[in-house]
Amino acid sequence: MLIPEPVYNIEKSYDDNYRDGPVFHGRIPASMPSTRPVSFLGITANSRLGIPAGPLLNSDWIGFYATMGFDLLVYKTVRTHAHPSYPPPNCLYVSVSGDLTPTSLSTPLIGTPRMEPASMRDITITNSFGMPSQAPAVWQEDVSRARKKIGPGQVLIVSVVGTEREGESIAENFARAAKMAKESGAQAVEVNFSCPNVKGTEGQIFQDPETAGKVAKTVRRELGPDYPLIVKVGYIGSDAEADRLLREIGPHINAIAAINTLSATVINPEGRPALPGPGRERSGVCGNAIRKAALEVVSRLSGRISSMKIPLSVIGVGGLMTVEDYDLFLASGADFAMTATGAMWDPYLAFHQKQQNLR
């Protein structure tokens, strides 16, 4: 086997990984290759490479990946209330040949807990957690701890999600979560709009521009005019769809992060649901096979943003598995790039990207 085990143990539960991870038996680089500082939404950062909401479950994970040279670190999505994770498995390998598109995903994929990937190109997974969150008292204290664990030129972003609660609209709940994250020491907040839309139309919030706009406006009001605010979206298949969304959210935010996973039905080799239980009929596919779809969305968003003359940065996410993929994201119009699956299997990715940058 050429690729070592991931630092996130996919055979264990979210709680196990929260408590015991990251598990890493390699060597921590003694020092990072020097880089030219960049501005990340007004904050000085060592590089344009980071990790999106996902593998960074808490301050131990943030601290580890900061040490490995990832400079833009997104704390996994949290809520205004405690919420349990789906039981394990939460991640499975999926066998895919070639690139996935939303259309090709109408046929089920086969998921398995074990595989011996020979290269980063073999790693496509599905993840299904149900957006767990510790209670605010726990995550807020931990976010403050995470802030102390990062170094100069590293940025701590906290991803939040809102739901409709008793006496509170979805926008108000998002805003309250964002405020809690800011108060705990987050330097930027990301609102996760690639989550199910509990209000109005079917689908996810980013597919409902009117709700997305209302939420973004309410969160902006809560955070104040100068605080960095990012919106995370899923696959956007047309310029018209991008324009409608950008028109509504653009005036309120500083950056758009794309994409979240592509949604698929995943079955086991016997043909039964690979992730049993309600709400898991479909799950998110990430890693190598979604890069083409991610690059397409990045290129679309960056093109539409410049035509519409909105001052928004684009954060490219999805299938970034190697240093070459990082270059592809920047060439497609991303201002910054992030890797979740890639960083889980190759924690040296940022170090290698920085080494390459020196040449």
Q: Which residues contact 149 (CB under 8 A, 6 or more apart)?
A: 59, 62, 63, 66
**292 vs 328: CA distance, rounded Å:** 10
Q: Which residues pair with 265 in a beta bridge?
A: 282
* Residue ranges binding ligand FMN (CB under 6 A): 52-55, 76-77, 91, 127, 129, 131, 159, 192, 194, 232, 260-261, 286-287, 290, 317-320, 339-342
Q: Could you tell me the two tokens for 65? A: 């990946």
Exposed, middle or buried, 327 (CB in 10 Å: 0-12/13-18/19+)?
middle
Residue where the block lists tokens 């990062």? 150
DSSP result, 2-39? -SPPPSS-TTS-HHHHHHH-----SPPPSSPPP---EE
Tell me the closest approach of the beta carbon of residue 260 to ligand FMN, in angstroms: 4
CA-based angle 72:163:171, to the nearest 5?
A: 80
Which residue is catalytic, options 57, 146, 188, 195?
195
Query: 286 catalytic, yes or no?
Result: no
Name which of 171 and 191 has its Cβ closer to ligand FMN. 191
Chain centroid offset of residue 341 CA: 10
Tell me the closest approach of the beta carbon of residue 31 to ligand FMN, in angstroms: 26
Tell me the closest approach of the beta carbon of residue 10 to ligand FMN, in angstroms: 8
Tell me the closest approach of the beta carbon of residue 233 to ligand FMN, in angstroms: 10
Return the active site residues: 195
